[in-house]
Structure 1
Amino acid sequence: MSSRRLDIPQSRSSSKPPRLVRSNSSMSLTKEAGVSKRRYDSRHLRPNATTIAETMARADSNPNPISPIVTLVIGQETRIFAAHENVLSASPFFKHILDTQFSEGETKRILLPHEEPEIFSCVLEYLYKGDYHPRLVHDKSRNTWELEESKSTAGRNRNRNGGGNRLGREAPTIYHHSVDGEVLKDTVIYCAGEKYGLEELKRIALRKQGLQCGIMASTILTSARYAYANTPDTDSKLRAHYLALIIRGRNTFKCSGTMQLEMFHGGSDLFFDLFVALCNHVDDLSVVSSTQHDTQQDTEQDTQQDTQQN
């Protein structure tokens, strides 16, 4: 089965997400439902931008240097991070742990074995700087948002090659142990924001994901499954984003063997939600078509009456 690439259309802020009618059914994410089975090896590891020294350097610029340092052990590789307690406490998740699980004077060490180091690096960067790499840049002349790296890279590539391309752009996916495959990085960060109670981080991640393009259809489906497994049923942003994305790219997905395999395996609320969204989409088109037809008939009748009167 060949996997196709799909350009993610940049939806306007005024567009409405698909309407959903949901039931309170459980969610699951299993390896059996995965698209591609890939053996774990060093190729899947991407360099982690944050080391202990770099984290401490950021911590030194903290306005309250008296705040205690917390050690965090992240992922299966037990990567070590460090952060100021008052910075971590901006997250309700960490504030609860710090307030309830340590006695006064005790060395504070938090274990997060199921977190990906690359993702936690982005979370920590957001807590200190309000964004994560690549940063969002607002183009005031066009009133649009761009990724900082892609904007500078595009300029260099135009000068070098006589036109823009995606050479040198950071990969939009990461290898995630829980699915044994590639997942869109911004989706994982959004879900981390959900876990840690960081609403603004979720907003930034969703906007950044909307700027990605040329994503494999199989990656989109795997990422959609991950999103459904790691967000609550009440989520109205990321889930709706994937439903709208699949509907807009339906000409690609209806020919996708991966889509057929995913639907065969099931195991996610994604496909029922997609069915409901498609039904609503068809209903909306029918209403628009009916309204246009009625308007056209009224116009023709008015024209005939005017002609008869003249």
Structure 2
Amino acid sequence: MTSFSNLSSSIATLVVGSEQRLFAAHENILCASPFFSNALRKLYTDPSTKRISLPEEEPEIFSSVLEFMYKGDYFPRLVHNKRRDSWELEPINDDDRKTAESTVYHRSVDGDLLKDTVIYCAAERYGLDELKKLSLRKQGLQSGIQCSTILASARYAYANTPETDSKLRAHYLALIIRSRSTFKRSGTMQLEMFNGGTQLFFDLFVALCNHVDDISSVQ
């Protein structure tokens, strides 16, 4: 929860995406992010209007980032199932189902990506480590995602995280290995590997080798 003092600070306007959707946020809330703190301090835009432009950001993603900065989570929220002692995504009613879709259209790839992956990469840009942890946990709870979406999201994760940040990359490597029977039959996977050109497939090769080595050592 945010404090009263945070909510009494000045308001900044954020202009998001190619359609220039407007968002408003308290400066003290934004300053929890090194990215926005720096933007407000240097006043990248008109200092009298306190406007920050984010033309490459997706409004739907930024809305979730802002929700996290105010509330510590984003929809659908993470809830603890005491009976199972496990974390789950909150139940969704029919009215909220469209809002809670696990994928989001992203202009940069002209296709769908796993929403939690895009949020993770946004959290990386904005320096929000707790949001990275939360979005990583949430995408581990997603199921029924198409192979093409998984691969596109993996490519996006590799392109938008530093090599030193291995957690999201490891998530995708493990996911592909667990679903290897499906991916072996995937024409999308075959085309992806034919085109190549990313670190993803070498990392996947190494991970598969390690997986086979582990099985061999157990036997």
Q: TM-score, normalised by structure 2?
A: 0.93
Is 1:177 matched with 2:119? no
Q: How does 1:119-130 map to 2 (within 5 A)?
A: 119-130=61-72
Q: CA deviation at 1:243?
A: 0.1
Q: CA deviation at 1:169?
A: 8.4
CA distance in 2, matches of 1:199, 1:147: 20
Q: CA deviation at 1:171?
A: 1.7
The equivalent of 1:101 in structure 2 is 43
TM-aligned CA distance change 1:141 to 1:271, over 3 Å: same
> What is the identity, as a one-letter code, of the residue corresponding to 1:107?
T
TM-aligned CA distance change 1:256 to 1:97, over 3 Å: same
Please list every run of at least 4 consecutive aligned residues from structure 1 whose deviation after the TM superposition is greater than 4 angstroms. Answer: 102-105
Long gaps (5+) in structure 1: 1-57, 157-166, 290-310
TM-aligned CA distance change 1:169 to 1:210, over 3 Å: farther
Match of 2:128 among 171, 178, 198: 198
Match of 1:90 among 28, 32, 37: 32
Q: How does 1:215-254 map to 2 (within 5 A)?
A: 215-254=145-184
CA distance in 1, matches of 2:151, 2:134: 21
CA contact (8 A) 2:44 2:52 kept: no
Match of 1:283 among 202, 207, 213: 213
Aligned residue pair count: 217
CA distance in 1, matches of 2:76, 2:55: 25
**Deviation per CA, 1:29-81, whole angstroms, max 9, x where unpaired?**
xxxxxxxxxxxxxxxxxxxxxxxxxxxxx99x854343111010000110000
CA distance in 1, matches of 2:90, 2:197: 37
> What is the identity, as a one-letter code, of the residue corresponding to 1:79?
R
Q: CA deviation at 1:104?
A: 11
Match of 1:148 among 85, 90, 96: 90
Long gaps (5+) in structure 2: none
TM-aligned CA distance change 1:130 to 1:286, over 3 Å: same
Q: CA deviation at 1:123?
A: 0.3
Q: Percent identity?
A: 68
CA contact (8 A) 2:11 2:25 kept: yes
- Structure number with larger C-alpha Rg: 1
Is 1:207 matched with 2:167? no
CA distance in 1, matches of 2:114, 2:44: 35
**Deviation per CA, 1:63-114, whole angstroms, max 9, x where unpaired?**
4343111010000110000101110000011111111236996321100000
Q: How does 1:18-57 map to 2 (within 5 A)?
A: none
CA distance in 2, matches of 1:280, 1:270: 15
TM-aligned CA distance change 1:102 to 1:251, over 3 Å: closer
Q: TM-score, normalised by structure 1?
A: 0.66
Aligned residue for 1:83, secondary structure, equals strand
Aligned residue for 1:282, secondary structure, equals helix
